[in-house]
Amino acid sequence: MALKNTAAGYGAMAKSLHWIMALLVISLVALGLYMGDLPRGEEKSALIRLHGSSGLLAITLLAFRLGWKVSNPAPAPLSSIKWQTLLASLVHWGFYGVIAFMVVSGSLSLLTVGWDLPFFGLFSIPTPYERDMDLHHFWEELHEAGWNVLAVLFVAHIGAVLFHQIIGKKQTLKRML
Q: What percent of the chain has pLDDT over 90?
A: 69
Residue 172 is predicted with a pLDDT of: 72
Residue 164 is predicted with a pLDDT of: 79
d(CA 97, CA 147): 12
Q: Give pLDDT tens digits for 88-142.
A: 889 999 999 999 999 999 999 999 999 999 999 999 999 998 999 999 999 999 9
Bigger pLDDT: 163 or 28? Answer: 28
Q: Are 48 and 110 in contact (CB under 8 A)?
A: yes
Residue 26 pLDDT more than 80?
yes
Nearest to 145 by CA among 98, 100, 113: 98
Residue 20 is predicted with a pLDDT of: 96
Residue 47 is predicted with a pLDDT of: 95
Residue 42 pLDDT more than 90?
yes
Q: How far apart are the first and last CA of the chain?
A: 11
Residue 152 is predicted with a pLDDT of: 95
Residue 173 pLDDT more than 80?
no
Residue 163 is predicted with a pLDDT of: 85
Please list, residue by residue across 70-84, b when 16 or more beta carbons sit within 10 angstroms of its beta carbon and e when fewer do: eeeeeeeebbeeeeb
Q: How many helices (H) and strands (E) does the chain have?
A: 5, 2
d(CA 22, CA 157): 12
The SS3 call for residue 153 is helix
Query: pTM of this prediction?
Result: 0.87
Lowest pLDDT segment from 31-45, 69-83, 135-149: 69-83
Nearest to 107 by CA among 125, 92, 91: 125
Lowest pLDDT segment from 3-7, 21-25, 163-167: 163-167
DSSP string, 94-119: HHHHHHHHHHHHHHHHHHHTT--EEE
Residue 21 is predicted with a pLDDT of: 95
pLDDT level of residue 8 (50, 70, 90 thresholds): confident
Q: Are 32 and 19 in contact (CB under 8 A)?
A: no
Exposed / middle / buried, residue 176 (Cβ in 10 Å: 0-12, 13-18, 19+): middle
Residue 132 is predicted with a pLDDT of: 93
d(CA 114, CA 117): 10
Nearest to 98 by CA among 24, 154, 50: 154
